[in-house]
Structure 1
Amino acid sequence: MNNDIFPCLWYDGDAKESAEFYCKIFGGEITTDTPVVMNIDLFGQRIMLLNGGAQFKKNASVSLMVICETEDEVQKYWNQLSDGGMPLMDLSSYSWSKKYGWIQDKYGVSWQLFLGDKAGEQKIVPTMMFIHDNNGKAKEAMELYTKTFLNSSIGNILKYGEGSEGHDTQEPAENVQHAHFVIDHYSLFCMDNSYDHSFDFNEGISMVVMTDDQQQTDNYWNALTSDGGRESMCGWLKDKYGFSWQIVPKRLIQLMNDSNQEKAYKVVQAMMKMQKIIIQDLEDAYNS
């Protein structure tokens, strides 16, 4: 399992409260605890919670699917996530799962609870919904992502027109109802959806990619910002579909966590002025 790729959830001051909530529900632990960044470990997977302010709200364009082994496990998570939460699809039996439900919790994070077989080692699989102008582009997006990252592949693809019982007949037959793909050993799911939702991809949920060196940083940055993508600040970017990524050299984290707080502060100040992270410029700031 690759813990150099993981989701980041945006909060307005309540990241720690949320982290404690998830660790209690899923039996995880907090591994990083700062006023801005919380990291939690759930089932051996890293999730970042970022206190970034009120600017962005999480929504169901990206959800976290939890693959459960028993009906009781699905029910247990559903009961706890229902505390202040809102069902998006009722907990019930469906053609694709004997027990399944989709719920938005009180912190705005959407969870799909699914009784079924795991996709590789991962218990939690981020799921991207391609809607509005992106509707019908799920397969194209998978091809871009798997071409960009090493150790990647596209797995099973179920299209709406392939006879799945109970599917929405308003969906184009060639659209993706559900698909699995892997980027550098990290599993994600995706789907197309024609419904006119009031939300879309935004910075509320992003994917963090930790890189080994400048070449890897450049390769990922250039591939994801090409053909309609947009650079943002501090290692953030949006790809051509509006999905947000954080391309973060591991060296940045090392320098920011240096025991010499004055040097670490200089690194942070240098990083704040960057779009793509330039490791040598961070080193220069550290040594200045």
Structure 2
Amino acid sequence: MTTAPFLMFQNGRCRAALDFYAATLPDTRTLSVQPYPEGTPGGDGLIMLARVSIDGLEVIANDSTIRHAFDFTPSTSFFHLCRDAAEVDRLADALSDEGAVLMPPGDYGFSRRFAWVNDRFGVSWQLNFE
């Protein structure tokens, strides 16, 4: 048995999010995508279950066919160790595009370069270069 982060997207945004992560984050690749069966809720192209590797971490994701009153929160985030300060800046800029900057790139004392952003899908990312 394994444990993995699970990202539930609403409004059919799972595929767009996975494509965005693959294009933006280093060493990200889709492992598998299983659509909902035709004739079922979501059977019009939504993702029932996807497995993605982000820098070696397996993440599971899907499109919810039920509209929930909750979504992502920054209290749960991905913590990404960057290769250098330039990568913190690049990823903070790319990930926060159409999202939000929670803490802009800077030296906060606990890190030489750190940023905390929400991406356009509401997923929170802490970017760190020690």
TM-score (norm 1): 0.39
Match for residue 243 of structure 1?
123
Aligned to 1:203: 74
Instruction: Confirm whether residue 217 of structure 1 aligns to residue 81 of structure 2.
Output: no
Q: 1:231 aligns with which of 101, 104, 116?
A: 101
> Aligned partners of 2:96, 2:88: CA distance in 1, in Å?
12
2: distance between equivalents of 1:152 and 1:204?
A: 23
Q: 1:117-266, aligned counterparts within 5 Å?
A: 123-131=2-10, 135-161=11-37, 169-226=40-97, 228-233=98-103, 235-249=115-129, 251=130
Instruction: Give runs of ≥4 in structure 1 deviating > 6 Å.
Output: none
Q: What is the SS of the residue equivalent to 1:194?
A: coil
Deviation at 1:145, TM superposition (A): 0.6
- For structure 2, list consecutive stretches of 5 or more residues without a partner in the other structure: 105-114
Q: Which has the larger Rg?
A: 1
Q: Which has the higher helix share?
A: 1
Q: Is the 8 A contact 1:230 1:239 kept in 2?
A: yes
Question: How many residues were matched structurally?
Answer: 120
Q: Which structure is richer in relative contact order (CA contacts within 8 A, separation 6 or more)?
A: 2
Deviation at 1:224, TM superposition (A): 0.4
Letter in 1 for 2:27: N
Report the counterpart of residue 272 of structure 1 in structure 2.
none
Q: Residue 3 of structure 2 aligns to which amino acid in structure 1?
A: I
Asked if the contact 2:92/2:116 (under 8 Å) is kept, the reply is no
